[in-house]
Chain A
Amino acid sequence: SAVISQKPSRDICQRGTSLTIQCQVDSQVTMMFWYRQQPGQSLTLIATANQGSEATYESGFVIDKFPISRPNLTFSTLTVSNMSPEDSSIYLCSVADRGLTEAFFGQGTRLTVV
């Protein structure tokens, strides 16, 4: 198993600003993902964070809006840029082995944009 620590756990931000969310894992992992969970909705994959290279984004998500870093096998950041109220959501970090036989999740970052 993997223990994931996300920071911050919650934040209230002004529109137009940016927030960087950190994800720290207690062991080296192959795959890291970032999800968004909007109120009352399911988890939507934003991107796969690739160690040492650019993240792979899902349809509807772009690097300019959600830049991601992954400098090593235990750490990643997601930035939500130029925020608007529509970005209010829970952002989740997830890790998995290469075959994605099981995914582990952080407790999430609850973001409110005002």
Chain B
Amino acid sequence: AQSVSQHNHHVILSEAASLELGCNYSYGGTVNLFWYVQYPGQHLQLLLKYFSGDPLVKGIKGFEAEFIKSKFSFNLRKPSVQWSDTAEYFCAVNNDYKLSFGAGTTVTVRA
């Protein structure tokens, strides 16, 4: 079955620590990949997306993600997190003009 897997359900870290969230998908063929973020009490917002070209994608707020086709992965990274990065993060794949989402990772950053 086609799916999107996020490796971590809940990540807790301190400010200035580095963050990496894993995302794997099982679709074949061409896919478009996204990371969305949902801050407490707010709607889902796009962090970054990959369609083609450079597999290292930079997004807003210092986030980046790397597409590794051979591993069917699209991991999200941030070198130094801030308390304001506390949020839920969703990986998503556009396949056949529909978005499929991973289960989400809750990130808690402690001051």
Query: Using a CB–CB distance below 8 Å, which chain A residues touch chain B?
Result: 4, 31, 33, 41-45, 48, 58, 92, 94, 99-103, 105-108
In the bound complex, residues from chain B placing their C-beta under 8 Å from that of A105 are 36, 43-45
Q: Can you list 5 A-B pairs with a CB-CB distance of less than 8 A?
A: A33-B99, A42-B104, A43-B101, A102-B34, A103-B99
Check A45 against B103 for contact (C-beta < 8 Å).
no
**Complex: A45 Cα to B103 Cα, angstroms:** 13
Check B101 against A31 for contact (C-beta < 8 Å).
no
A-B contact sample (17 more), CB < 8 A, given A48-B98, A105-B45: A41-B103, A42-B101, A42-B104, A43-B90, A43-B99, A43-B101, A99-B97, A100-B32, A100-B94, A100-B97, A100-B98, A101-B49, A102-B34, A102-B49, A105-B36, A107-B43, A108-B43
A-B contact count (CB 8 A): 44
In the bound complex, residues from chain A placing their C-beta under 8 Å from that of B102 are 42
Check B51 against A107 for contact (C-beta < 8 Å).
no
Query: Using a CB–CB distance below 8 Å, which chain B residues touch chain A?
Result: 32, 34, 36, 42-46, 49, 51, 90, 94, 97-104
In the assembled complex, the CB of B33 is this many whole angstroms from the nearest CB of chain A, namely 12
Check A42 against B90 for contact (C-beta < 8 Å).
yes
In the bound complex, residues from chain B placing their C-beta under 8 Å from that of A92 are 44
Check B97 against A107 for contact (C-beta < 8 Å).
no
In the bound complex, residues from chain B placing their C-beta under 8 Å from that of A101 are 32, 49, 51
In the bound complex, residues from chain A placing their C-beta under 8 Å from that of B51 are 101
Check B103 against A42 for contact (C-beta < 8 Å).
yes
In the bound complex, residues from chain B placing their C-beta under 8 Å from that of A94 are 99
In the bound complex, residues from chain B placing their C-beta under 8 Å from that of A100 are 32, 94, 97-99
In the bound complex, residues from chain A placing their C-beta under 8 Å from that of B34 are 102-103
In the bound complex, residues from chain B placing their C-beta under 8 Å from that of A107 are 42-43
